[in-house]
């Protein structure tokens, strides 16, 4: 059930909200049970068989958590490793099994390992990481809440279950148990619906519009000329941002409707002036997880500067692998890791670039790296890079060239149409350019959707957003899923 | 309350902008202008018997009414504009100029024989046309279509409107213009020289396969035929012009032909079924160049000379 599907908007959400507030009168515990049932139902709607992974995973981790709590120090460590191992094996089987078997078979040159084709349960990376953090914190003695129903809801809470934000038990479990959580707060409800609308606008109007230009260029074209390659890469850069931040806005908004505060996941990442700043603003809850549960356990910055740089690189490599079982994802993580290392070294020199240069360099780097993230194969990525560098020619439709100054015209070859962007139409190409400019303007605005909360500007944004959201829902040929569902 | 007010204000502002402010003069406005131009010519013929060509842009580029009129000695009006407007509006826009005794020829694009109801409702060109340029036709639609048309303004349409309105202000004209139409409504200017620019593109376009499927398109075609036969109009189906890539399309041709014959209408089947080599085409695999257009029209006229209704009045 997608957040923008009619069954969610007109059935699941109203029923869940009404019953949540009605049952809250009977006590917070009853409301928690209802939300757990609703969340499991929400998950089962995709494919009920995946409950066979999710529910045992919850029971296993809760059980391990309880075992860690009740045992002596040495046994606790064994239980922790057992828990971590169980989670990583589950993730390995469902997400990385095929990738590793194909890689090994490819290296050997013969099919020595066979791995069955099994579907990837939705949100497995999210609910596995969430529970790993829980176990580590139980081991560290940081977890006080022990109620299994609240734990189950913390893992399955439907606003975040499929694509995050990655929640931390300490910020969620007390909220579910708060007796005031079930009190109807019209202010929260209104703000929640307004933020949800902004999220829908980001997803349906912006991300999906960019998305229609990305697929043909990345997946079908044999070669891409300069303008096509840049249009495709920039379109994906904005598609991914508006898709994922739109989803995060909707998740936060749904939480708000139930008086639950979910963590912010985006803070205008494309305004970052260096790569570290970018990672402080993009998918914040993943960065937080990797810092707390990978970087710091690896030693963080406590073991000298060289080890710090290695740790940073490793964290990004793992981050790449977390996103997907493929070498292009690993390469994407590696280039970001390398960029972070270079940034650290540069910062150590004490030299500084002007902020506009820092912004431009960061944005162009992030944009170029997303090509690896999006490409289905190395060949597809190289095709886009070749186009962006200009190795596949500089072409423009004759009708557009006619409007350009003569000096600029000499740079391009006149063609009838650029077939791989915007459906090959002239007006489509113009629209693509204008929407890219609008997107750059939007991501550079000093106020983002989180900043709009509790400000009159939020309702001005809703005035503009609502009719376009209705238009997008009405004219949608097929419902598009969120990009981060595959992770 | 604030949210509700914002939403209501947004909907009114949106519909107001769509209905009376934003325009796409070069693309959608052209459709309105072309229909007005052709309708005016058709009406100027009064009650005189005439040949009417009804189709999408393949007929606009593929048929020369001038040639047909010379060959058949009957006035001819080419009412074809663009397939993008959809089979429903295309039939409605032309029906008003057809009189009993007229000969109506429909070289419909093959897509129309499998159009679904949801395709018609989601047709962006048609919805924008209705909401911005043809309010009287909009008022004749059922409520669901009116709502769809009024809420059809996408973010891309906003940009297209702003760009087209700006381009019109500075005098930029579209590649195809109403001034290129003959008095009878045929497109000119699709010369062999200009066609050369598109040859590699046309070579890359896959062939078009005729397909007939139950749905709104077929229902509309059948009911249109029935109405015209009742009004004693001579109505003929024929093939649109397409690239001959050597594929055997006989089953598809037969299915299309059956639509007409089973409805009691006639079908003008040219020996080549409207298929021509790539170098007969202009800018797409549906649009003939001028030379191809004239030759195809001569072939069509030759067939028409022996067709029922050409030499007599209402059947």
From the list A190, A209, A428, which residue is nearest B155 (CB)?
A209
Give mean pLDDT, residues A205-225: 89
Nearest to B151 among A462, A467, A477 (CB): A467
> How confident is the model at residue B309, as a pLDDT?
67
Q: What is the C-alpha to C-alpha distance for residues A241 and A275, in angstroms, rounded to an integer?
A: 16
Q: How far is CA B291 from the centre of its chain?
A: 21
Catalogue the E-assigned strands of chain B: 51-53, 76-78, 103-106, 234-238, 242-243, 266-268, 275-276
> What pLDDT sits at residue A450?
82
- Kindly indicate the confidence band of residue A54, based on its pLDDT and cuts at 50, 70 and 90: very high
How high is the pLDDT of residue B203?
80
Residues B278, B56: Cα–Cα separation, whole Å = 20
User: Per mean pLDDT, which of A107-111, A421-425, B77-81 is the most reliable?
Assistant: B77-81
Low-confidence ranges of chain B (pLDDT < 50): 313-315
Can you give the pLDDT at residue B304? 87
Beta bridge partners of A413: A395
Q: What's the whole-number mean pLDDT along residues A51-73?
A: 90
For residue B198, which residues of chain A lie inside 8 Å, CB to CB?
416
Residue-wise burial string across A65-74, b where 16 or more C-beta atoms lie within 10 A, e elsewhere: bebbeeeeee
Other beta carbons within 10 angstroms of residue B250's beta carbon come to 10
- A38 has a chain B CB within 8 A of its CB: no
Tens of pLDDT, residue by residue over A160-197, are: 887 778 888 888 888 888 888 888 888 899 999 999 99
Distance from CA of B118 to the nearest CA of A (A): 9
Residue pLDDT, tens place only, B92-149: 999 999 999 999 999 999 999 999 998 999 899 999 999 999 999 999 999 999 999 9
pLDDT score of B37:
96
Catalytic center residues of A: 323
B21 touches chain A (CB under 8 A): no
For A190, which of B3, B15, B197 is closest by C-beta distance?
B3
* CB within 8 Å: B201 and A416: yes
pLDDT at site B238: 96
With CB atoms and an 8 Å threshold, state whether A471 touches B151. Answer: yes
Q: Which residues of B touch A468 (CB under 8 A)?
A: 14, 153-155
In sequence order, what are the residues at sequence separation of 6 or more whose Cβ sits closer than 8 angstroms to the Cβ of residue A315? A290, A291, A294, A295, A298, A337
Q: Do A427 and B197 touch (CB under 8 A)?
A: no
Instruction: For residue B168, give the H/E element and its range.
Output: helix B155-169
Provide the whole-model pTM.
0.87
- Interface ipTM > 0.90: no
Whether residue B197 lies within 8 A of chain A, CB to CB, comes out as yes
Assign 3-state DSSP to chain B and report helix, strand, coil percentages, each to 5. 55, 10, 35
Q: How does residue A46 score in pLDDT terms, banded at 50, 70 and 90? A: confident
pLDDT, tens only, A219-245? 888 889 999 999 999 999 999 999 999
Give A211's contacts in chain B (Cβ within 8 Å): none
Contacts of B10 in chain A (CB under 8 A): 462-467
Higher pLDDT, A275 or A123: A275
pLDDT of the residue at B311: 67
Q: How many CB pairs under 8 A join A and B?
A: 86
Mean pLDDT score, A403-413: 86
Nearest chain B alpha carbon to A400: B172
What is the per-residue pLDDT for A487?
A: 64
Higher pLDDT, B211 or A474: B211
Chain A, 207 to 246: residues with Cβ < 8 Å from chain B are: 209
Report which of residues A326 and B106 the model is more confident about.
B106
CA angle (A351, A352, A356) in 5-degree steps: 160
Backbone dihedral angles phi then psi of residue A353, each to the nearest 5 degrees: -90, 155
The partner residue sitting opposite A466, judged by closest CB among B7, B156, B198, is B7
CA distances from B145 to A466, B123, B127 (A): 20, 10, 8
Q: What pLDDT does A486 receive? A: 64
Q: How far is A373 from chain B (nearest CA, A)?
A: 27
Spatial neighbors of A180 by CB under 8 A, at least 6 apart, are A259
pLDDT of residue A453: 82
Residues 6+ apart with CB under 8 A from B21: none
Looking at residue B287, the DSSP 8-state letter turns out to be P
CB-based contact B24:B157 (threshold 8 Å): yes
Contact across the interface for B3 and A194, Cβ inside 8 Å: yes
Return the residue in B1, B4, B5, B10 with the most chain A beta carbons within 10 A, the one to mutate for interface testing. B10
Rounded Cα gap, residues B88 and B127, in angstroms? 12
pLDDT over threshold 60, residue A478: no
Structure confidence at residue A477 as a pLDDT band (50, 70, 90): low
**Confidence grade of residue A475 (pLDDT, cut at 50, 70, 90):** confident
Residues in chain A with CB shorter than 8 Å from the CB of B5 are 459
Residues of B in contact with A472 (CB under 8 A): 154
Distance of CA B55 to the CA centre of its chain: 4
Written in H, E and C, the secondary structure of chain A is CCCCCHHHHHHHHHHHHHHHHHHHCCCHHHHHHHHHHHHHHHHHHHCHHHHHHHHHHHHHHHHHHHHHHHCCHHHHHHHHHHHHHHHHHHHHHHHHHHHHHHHHHHHHCCCCCCCCCCCCCCCHHHHHHHHHHHHHHHHCCCCCCCCHHHHHHHHHCCCCCCCCCCCCHHHHHHHHHCHHHHCCCHHHHHHHHHHHHHHHHHHHHHHHHHHHHHHHHHHHCCCCCHHHHHHHHHHHHHHHHHHHHHHHHHHHHHHHHCCCCCCCCCCCHHHCCCHHHHHHHCCHHHHHHHHHHHHCCCCCCCCCHHHHHHHHHHHHHHHHHHHCCCHHHHHHHHHHHHHHHHHHHHHHHCCCCCHHHHHHHHHHHHHHHHHHHHCCCHHHHHHHHHHHHCCCCCEEEHHHHCCCCHHHHCCCEEECCCCCCHHHCHHHHHHHHHHHHHHHHHHHCCCCHHHHCCCCHHHHHHHHHHHHHHHHHHHCCCCCCCHHHHC
**Average of per-residue pLDDT across A446-467:** 85
Interchain contact A393–B (C-beta under 8 A): no
């Amino acid at each position: 059930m997608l957040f923008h599907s009619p069954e969610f908007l007109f059935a699941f959400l109203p029923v869940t909200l009404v019953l949540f507030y009605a049952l809250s009168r009977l006590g917070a515990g009853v409301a928690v049970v209802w939300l757990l049932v609703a969340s499991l139902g929400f998950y089962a709607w995709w494919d009920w068989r995946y409950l066979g992974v999710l529910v045992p995973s919850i029971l296993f981790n809760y059980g391990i958590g309880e075992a860690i709590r009740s045992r002596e120090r040495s046994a606790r460590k064994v239980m922790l490793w057992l828990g971590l191992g169980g989670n990583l094996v589950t993730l390995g089987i469902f997400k990385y099994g095929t990738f590793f078997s194909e890689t090994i078979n490819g290296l050997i040159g013969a099919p020595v390992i066979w791995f069955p084709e099994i579907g990837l349960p939705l949100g497995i990376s999210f609910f596995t990481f969430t529970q790993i953090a829980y176990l580590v914190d139980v081991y560290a003695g940081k977890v006080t809440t022990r109620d299994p129903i609240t734990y189950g809801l913390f893992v399955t809470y439907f606003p975040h279950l499929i694509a995050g934000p990655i929640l931390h038990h300490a910020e969620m479990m007390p909220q579910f148990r708060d007796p005031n959580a079930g009190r109807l707060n019209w202010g929260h409800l209104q703000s929640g619906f307004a933020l949800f609308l902004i999220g829908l606008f980001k997803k349906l109007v912006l991300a999906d519009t960019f998305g229609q230009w990305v697929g043909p260029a990345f997946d079908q074209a044999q070669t891409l000329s300069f303008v096509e390659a840049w249009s495709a890469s920039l379109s994906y850069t904005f598609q991914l941002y508006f898709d994922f931040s739109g989803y995060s806005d909707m998740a936060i908004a749904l939480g708000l409707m139930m008086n639950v505060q979910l963590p912010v996941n985006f803070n205008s990442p494309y305004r970052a002036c260096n790569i570290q700043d970018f990672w402080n603003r993009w998918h914040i809850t993943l960065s937080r997880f990797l810092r707390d549960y990978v970087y710091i356990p690896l030693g963080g910055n406590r073991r000298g500067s060289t080890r710090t740089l290695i740790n940073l690189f490793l964290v990004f490599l793992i981050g790449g692998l977390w996103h997907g079982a493929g070498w292009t994802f690993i390469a994407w993580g590696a280039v970001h890791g390398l960029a972070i290392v270079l940034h650290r070294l540069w910062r150590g020199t004490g030299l500084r670039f002007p902020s506009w240069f820092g912004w431009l360099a960061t944005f162009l780097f992030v944009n170029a790296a997303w090509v690896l993230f999006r490409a289905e194969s190395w060949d597809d990525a190289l095709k886009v890079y070749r186009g962006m560098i200009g190795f596949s020619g500089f072409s423009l439709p004759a009708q557009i060239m006619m409007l350009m100054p003569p000096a600029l015209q000499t740079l391009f070859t006149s063609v009838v149409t650029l077939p791989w962007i915007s459906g090959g139409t002239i007006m489509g190409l113009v629209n693509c350019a204008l929407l890219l400019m609008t997107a750059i303007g939007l991501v550079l605005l000093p106020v983002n959707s989180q900043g709009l909360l509790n400000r009159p500007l939020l309702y001005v944004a809703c005035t503009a957003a609502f009719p376009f959201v209705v238009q997008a829902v009405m004219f949608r040929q097929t419902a598009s899923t969120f990009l981060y569902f595959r992770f | 309350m604030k949210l509700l007010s914002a939403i209501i204000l947004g909907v009114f502002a949106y519909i107001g902008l769509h209905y009376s402010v934003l325009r796409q003069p070069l693309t959608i406005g052209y459709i309105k202008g072309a229909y007005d131009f052709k309708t005016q010519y058709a009406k100027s013929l009064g009650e005189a018997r005439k040949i009417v060509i009804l189709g999408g842009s393949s007929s606009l580029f593929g048929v020369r009414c001038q040639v047909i009129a010379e060959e058949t000695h009957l006035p001819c009006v080419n009412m074809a504009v663009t397939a993008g407007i959809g089979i429903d509006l295309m039939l409605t826009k032309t029906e008003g100029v057809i009189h009993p005794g007229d000969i109506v020829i429909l070289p419909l694009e093959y897509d129309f024989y499998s159009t679904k109801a949801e395709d018609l409702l989601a047709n962006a060109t048609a919805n924008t046309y209705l909401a911005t340029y043809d309010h009287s036709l909009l008022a004749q639609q059922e409520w669901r279509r009116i709502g769809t048309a009024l809420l059809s303004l996408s973010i891309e349409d906003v940009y297209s409107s702003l760009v087209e309105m700006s381009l019109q202000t500075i005098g930029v004209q579209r590649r195809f213009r109403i001034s290129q139409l003959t008095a009878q409504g045929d497109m000119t200017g699709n010369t062999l020289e200009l066609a050369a620019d598109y040859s590699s593109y046309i070579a890359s376009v896959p062939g078009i396969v005729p397909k007939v499927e139950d749905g709104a398109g077929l229902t509309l075609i059948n009911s249109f035929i029935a109405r015209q036969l009742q009004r004693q109009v001579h109505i003929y189906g024929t093939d649109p012009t397409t690239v001959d890539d050597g594929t055997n399309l006989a089953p598809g041709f037969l299915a299309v032909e059956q639509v007409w014959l089973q409805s009691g209408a006639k079908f003008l089947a040219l020996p080549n079924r409207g298929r021509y080599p790539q170098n007969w085409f202009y800018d797409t695999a549906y649009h003939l160049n001028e030379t191809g257009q004239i030759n195809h029209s001569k072939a069509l006229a030759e067939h028409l000379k022996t067709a029922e209704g050409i030499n007599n009045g209402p059947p």
